[in-house]
Amino acid sequence: MSTNIIMHIDVNSAFLSWQATHEKQIGIERDIREVPSVIGGNEKSRHGIVLAKSVPAKKYKIQTGESLFEARQKCPNLLVVPPDYNIYTKASKKLREFLKTFTPDVEPFSIDECFIRFTDMSREKAIKMSHHIRTKIHEMFGYTVNIGISENKLLAKMAGDFEKPNKCHTCFPNEIKDKMWPLPVGDLFMVGRKTNQKLEKIGIHTIGDLANYDYNALSALLKSHGRLIYNYSWGKDNSEFKGEEQIKSVGNSSTLKFDVTDKETAHTILLSLIEVTAWRLREAKAYCTVVSIGIKYSDFSYLSRQRKLSFTTDCTNTIYENICNLFDNIWDGNPIRQLGVGVSDLDFSTSRQISIFEDNETKKNEDLDKTIDKIRYKYGDTSIIRGMFANTDFQPLLGGYPSDEYIGMSSNL
């Protein structure tokens, strides 16, 4: 019998795998997957947590999300590799482009996870296809993935998490009782640590316990979330397959190594954030008409503002000038812990109307941006940098996880 098939593709230890394959491509002989290693931020800064770990690192019980200080106490010889989000973003896009050679229906779920859909395909053919995709990804890109197969996104994601790495699993509706119900209830999608504790207190230890619990009692205890996870325990998921939506904004932010207390330093950091943001905007072949800024102070209070421009732009200098102006208008002088910038109200037109408000330098700056982009793409992100960053401790390109480029990054399917 043929039906719609959903597959969940999950890159195993994505940041570490992508970093390892990149190092191999540029001729670095080591393989960070074969030694105790982690991808993590600067141990001396506030970014010092484990983002991904190698299989040998797992043997030391190193956990994703724990501090690098804790990880190094468990393994003094631990190799810590700083993250390179540009590599990961490119790898993620390359993977999705490859998957589109099998089906046009590709829906990103996070930077290292996505769903694909096949219509009118038998289960037997789907299983055969999943092994073919998994093998081809390994051959072409040099890393492994897990693939979960089912008839809705929830069950496909649950199947993809059954056993790692480099596996294909099914979880069709008739397999739920055998494959999903024996699992700890904490393994169910959307059951977090606190919910797990509440469920354990009332005697729900497995997904099967949850499925056979009194629905009304669960609804009274956990309200709508209780009803949601109860339905999930039975494999019920009515979420639509959205496909790959066009991005609506591009943002970038960073928690700083130190509290910023002067305008000049803040402007320098904003420029390093905007360098990355404007580059991503141009990569998406889009122009923006809204720029925004967010400031998190050392007391964790947060302030943001945006500005509508009278013209569209993808020019780094233009975005920088407007965001600096916004910053100067709203900053009250208190110490800054985190800065964020964003561009939105995007225009994907192939041509752009020149505004009378633009000066003669605008076109020159746009051409210069595109030339710099080409150099960085060919020779590396920091192959060309602005002079103001030379011989300083400031990073010329600063930024974190580009979550707003990935539709469906929230916990909901």
> Among all residues, which ones are annotated catalytic?
113
The count of other CB atoms within 10 Å of the CB of residue 326 is 20
CB 16 within 8 A of CB 54: yes
Determine the Cα–Cα distance for residues 107 and 113; give it in Å rounded to an integer: 9
Determine the Cα–Cα distance for residues 287 and 284; give it in Å rounded to an integer: 9
Helical (H) or strand (E) element with 120 = strand 113-122
| CA 290 from centroid of its chain's CA atoms | 23
- In whole angstroms, how far apart are CA 237 and each of 31, 39, 117, 384, 405? 40, 34, 15, 48, 25
| CA 382 from centroid of its chain's CA atoms | 22
Q: Measured on CA atoms in the order 220, 225, 229, 231, is the torsion positive or negative?
A: positive
Determine the Cα–Cα distance for residues 317 and 323; give it in Å rounded to an integer: 10
Determine the Cα–Cα distance for residues 240 and 238; give it in Å rounded to an integer: 6
Determine the Cα–Cα distance for residues 403 and 113; give it in Å rounded to an integer: 13
Orientation angle between helical segments 193-201 and 215-233, nearest 10 degrees: 130
Tokens 């102070």 belong to which residue?
297
Determine the Cα–Cα distance for residues 109 and 252; give it in Å rounded to an integer: 19
- In whole angstroms, how far apart are CA 392 and each of 24, 43, 236, 335, 388? 30, 20, 55, 21, 8
Question: Phi and psi for 133 in degrees, rounded to 5?
Answer: -65, -45
88-93 contact pairs (CB < 8 A, 24+):
88/14, 88/15, 88/18, 88/112, 89/280, 89/402, 89/405, 91/14, 91/18, 91/21, 91/22, 91/141, 92/406
Whether the bond into 165 is cis, omega within 30 of 0:
yes
